[in-house]
A and B are shown apart, each in its own frame.
Chain A
Amino acid sequence: MEHTSLLERILRGVALTLVVIFFMFPIAWIFMMSFQTNETILRIPPQLIFEPTLANYTALITGKLVTAAGTLDIAFMRNLWNSVFLSVTSVAVSLLLGVPAAYAFARHKFRGSEDIAFTLLSFKFAPALLVLLPLTLYFQKLGLANTYIGLIWVYQLICLPLILWIVRGYFEDIPADIEYAYRIGGHSWFATFRKIALPLAGPGIAAAGLLAFIFAWNNFVFALVLASADKQPVTVGALAFITSSGIQYGQISAAIVLSITPTLALALYAQRYLVEGLSLGAVKG
């Protein structure tokens, strides 16, 4: 039993509180801003007490932004849907392609396997802006510009290397003997992949998928250049709140709250599963 003095516990509590405040303050402030009008937000000095309004959320959900200069159509809900659709589909495609590839890289050392794996990883090194210009030209020629397929394709640059490399490590951690034992028992390599490798690497696959989802969700520059309004995700859509009559802080805050909710919920949900999965253990004798 660890013995700590009262003073130590108090100091630790204070330190933890400070850290939590430091990191949570922006989020809390944004959450509060989302229930305020632009006028109350821009008051100086800022005040903690205000009359909450749902106007921001109403504007976002109905798609009508009322400003001093008149009513503006915004496609925020459409953007949100685009974000969900693009991220989910990209991660799904990446998992479908990346998990079997990761297994192949982990279990079968073939000529050039390391080179191919590294090349895939190197996609993450290249600055997005560097590849954007040629990519835009190609996409226009191919008719992929401003299509979901084109965007999902480009999102593979973000998701696939991530999933491939994380999941590969998890597959490598499974002792080969366990898979051998299953095969000697009379099962095909595919059955072994499905019944042994996949369940044992499950937590790793979930972690990689979650991370890839967050990266895809937060992507801005690919979507900005390669998609027009009706295909844009929230990251790009938020630009619409910088209007001719000023920046709509209230709506931006509400938009942020709405757009971080799915990733936050997913992370909280997956966390439970991840911890459970990582404590599976007992792989070794």
Chain B
Amino acid sequence: MASLELRKIVKRYKSQTVLDNLSLTVADGETLVLFGPSGAGKTVLLRLVAGVIDPDEGKIFIGGDDMTDVDAEFRGIGMAFQNFALFPHMTAFDNIATPLEAKRSSQGAIKAGVESVAKLLKIAHVLSHKPRALSNGQKQRTALARALVGSPPLLLLDDPLRNVDAKLRFEMRLELPRLLADRGATVVYVTQDYKEAMALGDRIAVMSQGVIRQLGTPEQIYREPANIEIARLFGDPTINLLDVKPARDSRGIYVGLSNVQVHLAGAYETAVGRDCVIGLRPEALSFVEEGAPGAIPVTVEAETPLNEKIVTLVRTVRGREILVSRPAGTPGRSEGKAHISVDGKSALLFDHASGERIGSKNVVSLRNGEAA
């Protein structure tokens, strides 16, 4: 069908290397999210796959066929652009119909195809409008409809929710996975929004500076980020990062937080005595009564309810600020002195100098490597 394989792709613009020896495999029917800051090379990668720009080195296989030198129109791809890229001189209907026209479908088949996809995306009532008469949400759906209409086995979606309002983005984040699953297409989805990445991806490839830093399931990326940078990008509120120097005692390896020894579960032997950074997800911290084992005294600075959860900013006796998150409605402290405890099992340990995670278990850490 339409698996996608990129082999050692290199793309340079002038002296700048945008994609550096990048390899990636996407299985048939899989949704892979390319996640990363702007300038990471996500969009360039997508355009290489689409065939509108050519790689300087490397090969692109779609469905097992070498497509590196095949023109865009013969690759059988559907693509939605971040800026929609609708044809301003055509109605929404004609916009959506263009891929079907290319296939020389009959007028009836075109009409049926466009109307069914328009109904699916709830834009059937605006098909006669030109793009300038459409709202942003309708433009986005039209662009998506155009990508979907020909039932391409490979779909490339370049941050399609970037330019739509928050409400619509939330709706689409719910709708899209089902929509994509129904199509059975292989999907490469670019986004800068980690929630979108977590919601949509079977796997997520975290990119920066033209290299895939980590490739794994949303769970893996969240639980076992390859480095501090990735840990910081995933999660809201962001992960707490504190400088520590792990030590060993009879009960195992521990770190000292405000003179309280927090024992870590995991293979951290190599970290003993090194300068490290401990990563504590706000939800891995909880308020406890004074005197509970491992209770760390803190002062509550501020509390922010975020609908389903409450985020509390606390300050340790050493003056370090920590975010604690708890589900709304659970007991906590909103002011004054309090105590928190750390779930040693979910703590993440990073090397201070390199930022790499220490004691990886199942992490697929990639550096210019082949995807497993």
Contact = CB atoms under 8 A, between A and B. Distances in A.
B87 A178 contact: yes
A191 B87 CA distance: 14
Given A175-B85, A187-B102, A188-B73, A282 B131 contact: yes
Contacts of B81: 177, 180-181
B163 interface: yes
Contacts of B98: 182, 185, 187
A180 B78 CA distance: 11
B47 to A, nearest CB: 7
What interface size band does chain A fall in?
20 to 34
Given A181-B81, A181-B146, A187-B102, A285 B163 contact: yes
Contacts of B83: 175, 177, 284-285
A281 interface: yes
A199 interface: yes
Interface in A138-167: none
B99 A186 contact: yes
Given A185-B99, A187-B102, A180 B89 contact: no
Interface string A55-83: 00000000000000000000000000000
Interface in B71-128: 71-79, 81, 83-89, 98-99, 101-103
A10 interface: no
A186 to B, nearest CB: 3
Contacts of A199: 89
A285 B137 CA distance: 11
Interface in A176-212: 176-178, 180-189, 191, 196, 199-200
A210 B299 CA distance: 76
Contacts of B78: 184
B102 A186 contact: yes
B79 A181 contact: yes
B73 A184 contact: yes
A186 B88 contact: no
Interface residues of B, number: 34
Nearest to A202: B89
A283 B87 CA distance: 7
B46 to A, nearest CB: 10
Contact of B86 (A187, A191, A280, A285): A285
Contacts of A181: 79, 81, 85-87, 146
Interface string A260-285: 00000000000000000000111111
A88 B154 CA distance: 49
Contact of A187 (B47, B73, B130): B73
Name which of A177, A186, A283 has the most chain B CB atoms within 10 A of its CB: A186
A282 B132 contact: yes
B153 interface: no
Contacts of B79: 180-181, 184
B102 A180 contact: no
Interface of B: 47, 50-52, 71-79, 81, 83-89, 98-99, 101-103, 130-132, 136, 139, 146, 150, 163
12 contacts: A177-B83, A180-B50, A184-B52, A185-B73, A187-B98, A191-B102, A196-B87, A282-B88, A282-B131, A285-B83, A285-B136, A285-B139
